[in-house]
């Protein structure tokens, strides 16, 4: 089955119509799942563009969804902060997992909660996101020894994307970048209330909580104007 995609600002982004369609698509894949929102689509970075175009970019933001719909594709928002748990729920009995990211306290809390919610979950290993060169080498050795199927990396973008691309060269698997999702899942950081999420206003909630984000939000305004005038 073919899946629709478009190039938005030189970045390939898939238009999935549901979480289940996305879950079906990644079955058996060895690739990097990259969340694309308005901010990332508006970024000018040739190295990151190449990385996105060689992997699986998906619409994790209302701006990305609008851009796809503007091009005539049926698309729905796939929130990475939720989708990694959908992956675990779907594949918990047939796949193994490895988690990297956040502080030691947060990753410990995350793994403890996952084991409580998914008692049969096969977690091959985990560690915090503060990596030195030697830590990367140790992780690759651990991957080769334990052979996890799916690796979640929560370190912020685009740092996590470049790290996953580095790992992929030596250890192909299904990778997914999660940003601050471990912090949210562990309860150490709150996500936007459901009403903001359902209205596509999660960005507004973040701005209200962190006014220093105003510079980033102004860039998003420019992006939306580009969508309106179809200059992406």
Residue 73 is predicted with a pLDDT of: 94
d(CA 2, CA 138): 38
What are the residues facing 96 on neighbouring strands? 122
Three-class SS of residue 182? helix
d(CA 31, CA 13): 14
Q: What is the value of pTM for the model shown?
A: 0.87
Residue 201 is predicted with a pLDDT of: 58
Residue 216 is predicted with a pLDDT of: 59
In the chain the beta strands, taken as DSSP E runs, fall at 5-8, 11-14, 32-36, 56-59, 96-101, 122-127, 150-154, 174-177
Per-residue pLDDT of the chain (232 residues; tens, 9 = 90+): 457 999 998 999 999 999 999 999 999 999 999 999 888 888 889 999 999 999 999 999 888 998 899 889 999 999 999 999 999 999 999 999 999 999 999 999 999 999 999 999 999 999 999 999 999 999 999 999 999 999 999 998 999 999 999 999 999 999 999 999 999 999 987 665 666 556 555 555 555 566 655 555 566 666 666 665 565 5
Residue 96 near residue 122, CB atoms below 8 Å: yes
d(CA 21, CA 23): 5
Residue 1 is predicted with a pLDDT of: 46
């Amino acid at each position: 089955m073919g899946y629709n995609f478009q190039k938005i600002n030189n970045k390939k982004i898939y238009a999935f119509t549901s979480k289940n369609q996305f879950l079906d698509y990644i079955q058996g894949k060895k690739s990097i799942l990259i969340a694309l929102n308005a901010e990332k689509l508006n970024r000018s970075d040739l190295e990151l563009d190449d990385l996105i175009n060689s992997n699986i970019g998906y619409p994790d933001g209302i701006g990305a969804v609008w851009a796809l719909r503007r091009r005539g594709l049926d698309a729905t928002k796939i929130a990475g902060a939720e989708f990694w748990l959908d992956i675990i729920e779907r594949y918990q009995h047939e796949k193994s997992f490895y988690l990297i990211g956040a502080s030691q306290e947060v990753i410990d809390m995350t793994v403890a909660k996952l084991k409580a919610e998914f008692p049969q979950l096969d977690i091959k290993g985990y560690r915090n996101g503060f990596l030195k060169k030697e830590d990367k080498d140790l992780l690759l050795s651990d991957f080769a020894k334990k052979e996890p199927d799916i690796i979640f990396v929560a370190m912020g973008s685009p740092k996590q994307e470049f790290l996953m691309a580095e790992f992929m060269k030596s250890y192909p698997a299904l990778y997914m970048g999660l940003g601050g999702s471990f912090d949210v899942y562990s309860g150490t950081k709150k996500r936007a209330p459901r009403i903001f999420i359902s209205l596509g206003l999660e960005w507004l909630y973040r701005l209200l909580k962190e006014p220093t984000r105003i510079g980033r939000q102004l860039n998003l305004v420019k992006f939306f104007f580009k969508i309106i005038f179809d200059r992406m």
